[in-house]
Structure 1
Amino acid sequence: MDYEIFELGDVRLQQGATLSDAKLAFKTYGELNADKSNAIVYPTWYSGQHYDNEWLIGEGMALDPAKYFVIIPNMLGNGLSSSPSNTPAPHDRASFPRVTMYDNVRFQHRLVTERFGIERLELVTGWSMGAGQTYQWAVSFPDMVKRILPFCGSAKTSRHNIVFLEGVKAALTADAAYAGGRYDRQPDIGIRAMSRVYAGWGFSQQFYRETIYERDPLGFASLEDFLVSFWEGLFLKRDANNLLAMLWTWQNADVGRTPGFRGVEDALAAIRMPAIVMPAQQDLYFPPEDNEWEVKHMPRAELRVIPGAWGHFAGGGLNPEDTRFIDDALKELLRLKV
Structure 2
Amino acid sequence: MKILASIVLSLSSLSLLAQSAPQQPEPVEHTYVIHNFHTESGVTLPEAKIVYGTYGHLNAAGDNAILLPSHYMANMKGYGWLIGPGKALDPEKQFLITSELFGNGRSSSPSNTPEPFHGPRFPVTTIRDNVEAVHQLLTQELGVKHLQAVIGFSMGAQQAFQWAVSYPDYMDRIVATSGTAKTYGHGIVRLESEINAIETDDAFKGGDYTTEPVKGIQSFSLVWTAWLFSQEWWHQELWKTEEPAGRTLAQVIENYKTHFIPDADANNLILQMRTWEQHDVGTTPGFNGDTTKALGSIKAQVLYMPSATDLYFPVTDARTEAPLIPHCTLLPIPSLWGHPAGAGASPADEKFLNGNVAAFMKGQPLHP
TM-score band (shorter)? over 0.9
2:292 corresponds to which residue?
A: 265
1:170 corresponds to which residue?
A: 196
- Whether contact under 8 Å (2:175, 2:303) holds in the other structure is yes
Give 2:167's match in structure 1, choosing from 132, 135, 141.
Answer: 141
Cα deviation, residue 59, structure 1: 1.5
- Stretch of structure 1 that moved more, 110-119 or 223-232: 223-232
Q: Name the SS of the counterpart of 2:183 in structure 1.
A: coil
Matched, 1:183 2:212: no
Cα deviation, residue 167, structure 1: 1.0
Q: CA RMSD in A?
A: 1.5
Q: Name the SS of the counterpart of 1:11 in structure 2.
A: strand
Give 2:183's match in structure 1, choosing from 149, 157, 170.
Answer: 157
2:30 corresponds to which residue?
A: 4
2:136 corresponds to which residue?
A: 110
Matched, 1:316 2:335: no
Task: For 1:232 and 1:275, locate their aligned partners in 2 and report how far apart those are by CA, in whole Å.
Answer: 38
TM-score, normalised by the number of residues in structure 2: 0.89
Cα deviation, residue 233, structure 1: 1.4
- Whether contact under 8 Å (2:222, 2:256) holds in the other structure is no
Cα deviation, residue 231, structure 1: 5.2
Cα deviation, residue 290, structure 1: 0.6
Q: Name the SS of the counterpart of 2:128 in structure 1.
A: helix
- Stretch of structure 1 that moved more, 317-326 or 87-96: 317-326
- Whether contact under 8 Å (2:169, 2:299) holds in the other structure is no
Q: Name the SS of the counterpart of 1:23 in structure 2.
A: strand
Give runs of aligned pairs for residues 10-21 of structure 1, distance below 5 A.
10-21=36-47
Change (3 A) 1:126 1:199: same
Identify unmatched segments of 5+ residues in structure 1: none
Cα deviation, residue 218, structure 1: 6.7
Task: For 1:275 and 1:231, locate their aligned partners in 2 and report how far apart those are by CA, in whole Å.
Answer: 36
Cα deviation, residue 273, structure 1: 1.4
Task: For 1:31 and 1:273, locate their aligned partners in 2 and report how far apart those are by CA, in whole Å.
Answer: 24
- Whether contact under 8 Å (1:217, 1:319) holds in the other structure is no
Task: For 1:54 and 1:90, locate their aligned partners in 2 and report how far apart those are by CA, in whole Å.
Answer: 37
- Whether contact under 8 Å (2:177, 2:343) holds in the other structure is no
2:324 corresponds to which residue?
A: 297
TM-score, normalised by the number of residues in structure 1: 0.96
- Whether contact under 8 Å (2:344, 2:353) holds in the other structure is no
Matched, 1:203 2:236: no
1:75 corresponds to which residue?
A: 101
Cα deviation, residue 227, structure 1: 2.2
Task: For 2:246 and 2:126, locate their aligned partners in 1 and report how far apart those are by CA, in whole Å.
Answer: 36
Task: For 1:213 and 1:83, locate their aligned partners in 2 and report how far apart those are by CA, in whole Å.
Answer: 33
Change (3 A) 1:108 1:220: farther
**Residue-by-residue CA offset, 1:198-228 (whole Å, 9 max, x unaligned):** 1110100000001000124674612222223
- Whether contact under 8 Å (2:28, 2:55) holds in the other structure is no
Give runs of aligned pairs for residues 59-74 of structure 1, distance below 5 A.
59-74=85-100
What is the aligned length?
A: 337
Cα deviation, residue 186, structure 1: 1.0
More helix per residue: 1 or 2? 1
- Stretch of structure 1 that moved more, 198-207 or 48-57: 48-57
Cα deviation, residue 28, structure 1: 0.5
2:271 corresponds to which residue?
A: 245
What amino acid maps onto 2:45 in structure 1?
A: L
Task: Give me the identity figure in percent.
Answer: 39
Q: Name the SS of the counterpart of 2:69 in structure 1.
A: coil
**Residue-by-residue CA offset, 1:73-132 (whole Å, 9 max, x unaligned):** 100111111000000000000000011111100111111101111111001011111100
Task: For 1:41 and 1:219, locate their aligned partners in 2 and report how far apart those are by CA, in whole Å.
Answer: 36
